[in-house]
Structure 1
């Protein structure tokens, strides 16, 4: 059978997933993946990426082979994230921190807040393994918080990853960040859709793009609970709330950031950032093949003051 030689365009240079998936190595590490792999009409190994079970098994294999995450599972119906794109976010914001730190900062002295950590706990697990960072994850869903904490502990990261329940859905940072806490970075993958119907139609489009017929009622082919996939007003409303509330924590967080899937949401977000007095605003493009997204990052400090944040210089804490 053929092994494709092309590399995945658009990924960060440090991303471990530049090359096509090595299914032989992945199946060796995670045998449950093997029966889901087949040879397509071009003679190359692949999966049915419209099959949630196949996508989940691939994730487990990728995490085990590349990141030493030996125990990873999800409650039924929860969001199963694409690993290459998620770790790309981390690499790009690591470069953002490096601009003021003088180098890519690593170790447990770097504290990161993941807003909407989800049951998959994917950003804390990847960030802890790739950069040694320490994470706090927050979520309004108690099942997600319990599952994420269990994943951290199961992989020996209980002392490095702590997930907290956000009891008020109207708050993003309040109730999670205590008065004495400081974070070098906040992350977020906000709810994309504005309703369950919109989320279902989005999944139907994905399935059609994968050549699958759509039958019956609502379709959520990669899982996802309400808080993971949709909120009133969708991505634009969530971004507006996050930006407005970030001002209160301007002295406790160096860089705030969020994925922005819809490019048309950027102008309003930039306007909102100007209104709250953000001193630095960055739009960082990301791409994986034909899929294009971007990270919106903002900071309430000027560049000179950002450098002072790192005094003494960041170090690799044991």
Structure 2
């Protein structure tokens, strides 16, 4: 019988229990000024405060993953660590179907589309599983910042960041003609406009009891390419699916986070049109928040096993 984790996180996720603020502050003293005891007698911090969220991330990465140098340019996206690493654990299980076990080591090569200035998926994936990453981004500042994070944490040989000069292309211009990846990851822009992104932040602040007049501060930050694109998540997914077909023989699995469940039916129809042989929807739950990973492959099961065997030597 499988153990049911109350948090809804993957069983291998290190963040099943509430944050251990004593241990976090001991490892990263700069977090201490942000921690307080709430009316229930529990240690916590103000999750509506961007500085507090960044300090928490820095402490979590240092304590649990040995990432001791982590920072962001002002205004860039500060991602929630438990949810990001959950994505990695769930796609690791997907790869295990072909590999025969959860794969680790540098033979596993992963493409992170939209690596961001935070470089979070490559950093976590390199530390948790020893995988190698290529991270792409249309923003040169993000590419430079992510590269610095990789090298400053001794992961320059495992993480390579590439600039995508054409914002309309997702894979072309990044994947070489002979390159092969076992997995692609993506955290697509969620909103269709800056106004929509701002409304989303206002809702978060209200939920945190921090509603305020005027333009809200984005507690997790985020630049245009990180938060929104024309057509929002649905349009981005449609483009990614259409363009993935050309590279179907170079990637074992394509995947993307899908925040809005209502975007799945159109995505599934698009995958049928391009001839995807296998489609999976992997649900992720964290507290009351439910999101999902859409994964697809242009190879059938036997071909994926053979592809893995050939690529894993």
Q: TM-score range by the shorter chain?
A: over 0.9
1:8 is displaced (CA, Å) by: 4.9
Q: Which residue of 2 aligns with 1:4?
A: none
1:78 aligns to what SS in structure 2?
coil
2:290 aligns to what SS in structure 1?
strand
- Unmatched segments (≥5 aa) in structure 1: 1-6
Q: Which residue of 1 aligns with 2:100?
A: 102
Q: Which residue of 1 aligns with 2:90?
A: 92
Q: Which residue of 1 aligns with 2:287?
A: 289
2:203 aligns to what SS in structure 1?
helix
Write the distance in 2 (CA, Å) between the matches of 1:294 and 1:239.
Answer: 13
Q: Which residue of 1 aligns with 2:254?
A: 256
1:217 is displaced (CA, Å) by: 2.5
Structure 1 residue runs of 4 or more that deviate by more than 6 Å after TM superposition: none
Q: How far does the alpha carbon of each residue in 1:268-287 deviate from its partner, in whole angstroms, 9 at most, with x for none?
A: 00000000000000000000
* 1:76 paired to 2:69: no
CA contact (8 A) 2:284 2:293 kept: yes
Write the distance in 2 (CA, Å) between the matches of 1:8 and 1:140.
Answer: 38
CA contact (8 A) 1:119 1:148 kept: yes
1:112 aligns to what SS in structure 2?
strand
Write the distance in 2 (CA, Å) between the matches of 1:211 and 1:8.
Answer: 24
- Unmatched segments (≥5 aa) in structure 2: none
Write the distance in 1 (CA, Å) between the matches of 2:107 and 2:135.
Answer: 16
Name the Cα RMSD after superposition: 1.0
1:96 aligns to what SS in structure 2?
helix
Aligned match for 1:22, one of 20, 23, 27: 20
CA contact (8 A) 2:53 2:219 kept: no
1:313 is displaced (CA, Å) by: 8.0
Write the distance in 2 (CA, Å) between the matches of 1:217 and 1:301.
Answer: 47
CA contact (8 A) 1:207 1:213 kept: yes
Q: Pairwise mapping of residues 32-47 of structure 1 onto structure 2 (< 5 A)? A: 32-47=30-45
Aligned match for 1:147, one of 142, 145, 148: 145
CA contact (8 A) 1:105 1:314 kept: no
CA contact (8 A) 1:254 1:299 kept: yes
Write the distance in 2 (CA, Å) between the matches of 1:313 and 1:180.
Answer: 12
Q: Which residue of 2 aligns with 1:276?
A: 274
Write the distance in 2 (CA, Å) between the matches of 1:237 and 1:258.
Answer: 13
CA contact (8 A) 1:101 1:313 kept: no
1:309 is displaced (CA, Å) by: 1.2
CA contact (8 A) 1:8 1:20 kept: no
Write the distance in 2 (CA, Å) between the matches of 1:215 and 1:117.
Answer: 33
Q: Structure 2 length normalisation: TM-score?
A: 0.97
1:9 is displaced (CA, Å) by: 1.5
2:309 aligns to what SS in structure 1?
coil
Aligned match for 1:242, one of 228, 231, 240: 240
1:168 is displaced (CA, Å) by: 0.3
Q: Structure 1 length normalisation: TM-score?
A: 0.96
CA contact (8 A) 2:50 2:218 kept: no
Write the distance in 1 (CA, Å) between the matches of 2:273 and 2:89.
Answer: 29
Q: How far does the alpha carbon of each residue in 1:78-108 deviate from its partner, in whole angstroms, 9 at most, with x for none?
A: 0000000000000000000001110111100
1:216 is displaced (CA, Å) by: 1.2
CA shift in 2, pair 1:8/1:64, >3 Å: farther
